[in-house]
């Protein structure tokens, strides 16, 4: 693999609590890599270590050939980092924000670069407005544009669509794809699994301090058994009761608002008969049963274990 990011045995604890317990992964140059995990799994900690903002307790990491612990300046020149919340200066205009970063990074022709980025990110008409007057989507676009000054090879996007409405989220997806198409390496974390499925070329799942699984979206979905079914029940009480009645099976996900849950089976008639028989004996009526094609969300919950 032509790796631009290499991580091995990464460990980090806070006040005696181990967040990362030996994380290993490689990120291929170019394309979109997604790091997934539950809230508190350590995704942001991992990014902050790679971005030289946090010191690891153990392990090694390198970006673009630079050691993240001993060659921080090389790493910083190779990356940009957009955190979960936009960090633009609301007292400056959009153009002034870009000019400021350009001057701090001592690039040539910061004004030309600023105007080019404003056009690229569809902000030209609002270039001279205060950033405080920008919508959430506009601030997020400006934030990412600021990170591209200096032409970094690796772009870290930590939950880039958090707080955006559906329209702006889709617009951000297209923007991420466009950046990847230019040859940049995108390192993405997201709480939206459909986002990872739509964008990522390769995914690693961080769980309990380690990488629990990795692969393309298709490869992760192939980890699931072929016999996945969705059952619709009549009420919440039956839904809760079914979890204990079917505790011997792997539950991939529960949608309480729809009174539905999905079960992973081996696809045999015997397993399906066993499920329906168990529910009937427990006086739990099944309103509808459907065979499902696994999604990345199903694979994710199967990998980390559904919390019953």
Reported as a single tens digit per residue, the pLDDT across 273-301 is: 899 999 999 999 999 988 877 788 878 88
Q: Of the spans 48-57, 133-142, 158-167, 266-275, which averages the highest pLDDT?
A: 48-57
Is 27:5 a contact under the CB 8 Å cutoff?
yes
Residue 215 sits at φ, ψ, to 5 deg, of: 155, -175
The pLDDT value given to residue 191 = 85
Each residue's pLDDT tens digit, 199-221: 999 999 999 999 999 999 999 98
Give the rounded percent of residues in the chain with a pLDDT score beyond 70: 97
Q: Which residue has the tokens 């297209």?
A: 174
The residues with which 214 forms a beta bridge, in sequence order, are 204
Distance CA 48, CA 45 (A): 5
Q: What are phi and psi of 174, to 5 degrees?
A: -65, -35
Q: What is the mean pLDDT of residues 255-262?
A: 85
**Packing angle between helix 110-120 and helix 94-104, nearest 10 degrees?**
130
Kindly give the residue spans of alpha helices, DSSP state H, lying in the chain: 43-50, 72-78, 94-104, 110-120, 136-148, 166-181, 193-199, 217-221, 236-245, 269-281, 296-304
Q: Return the closest-CA partner of residue 143 out of 177, 194, 92, 181.
A: 92
Would strands 286-291 and 250-255 be described as parallel, antiparallel, or unpaired?
A: unpaired
Domains of the chain listed by start with CATH number: 3-220 (3.40.50.300), 227-304 (3.30.70.100)
User: What is the number of other CB atoms lying within 10 angstroms of the CB of residue 303?
Assistant: 16
Full-model pTM: 0.81
Query: Tokens 């676009």 label which residue?
Result: 141
């Amino acid at each position: 693999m032509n790796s631009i990011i290499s991580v091995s045995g990464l460990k980090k604890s806070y006040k005696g609590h181990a967040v990362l317990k030996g994380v290993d992964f490689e990120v291929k140059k170019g394309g979109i890599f997604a790091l997934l995990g539950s809230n508190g799994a350590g995704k942001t900690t991992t990014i902050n270590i790679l971005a030289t903002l946090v010191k690891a307790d153990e392990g090694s990491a390198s970006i673009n050939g630079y050691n993240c612990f001993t060659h921080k300046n090389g790493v910083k020149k190779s990356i940009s980092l957009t955190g979960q919340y936009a960090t633009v200066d609301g007292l400056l205009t959009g153009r002034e924000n870009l000019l400021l970063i350009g001057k701090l990074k001592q690039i040539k022709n910061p004004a030309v670069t600023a105007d080019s980025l404003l056009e690229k990110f569809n902000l030209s008409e609002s270039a001279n407005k205060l950033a405080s007057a920008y919508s959430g989507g506009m601030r997020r676009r400006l934030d990412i544009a600021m990170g591209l000054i200096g032409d970094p090879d690796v772009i870290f996007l930590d939950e880039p669509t958090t707080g955006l409405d559906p329209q702006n989220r889709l617009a951000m997806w297209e923007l991420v794809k466009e950046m990847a198409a230019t040859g940049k390496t995108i390192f993405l974390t997201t709480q939206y699994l459909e986002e990872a499925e739509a964008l990522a070329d390769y995914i690693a799942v961080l769980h309990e301090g380690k990488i629990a699984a990795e692969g393309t979206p298709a490869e992760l979905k192939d980890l699931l058994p072929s016999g996945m079914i969705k059952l619709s029940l009549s009420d919440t009480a039956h839904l809760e009761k079914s979890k204990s009645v079917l505790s011997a099976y792997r539950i991939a996900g529960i949608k309480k608002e729809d009174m539905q849950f999905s079960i992973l089976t081996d696809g045999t008639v015997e397993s399906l008969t066993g499920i329906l028989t168990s529910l009937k004996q427990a006086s739990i009526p099944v309103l509808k049963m459907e065979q499902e094609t696994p999604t990345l969300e199903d694979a994710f919950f199967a990998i980390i274990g559904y919390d019953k």
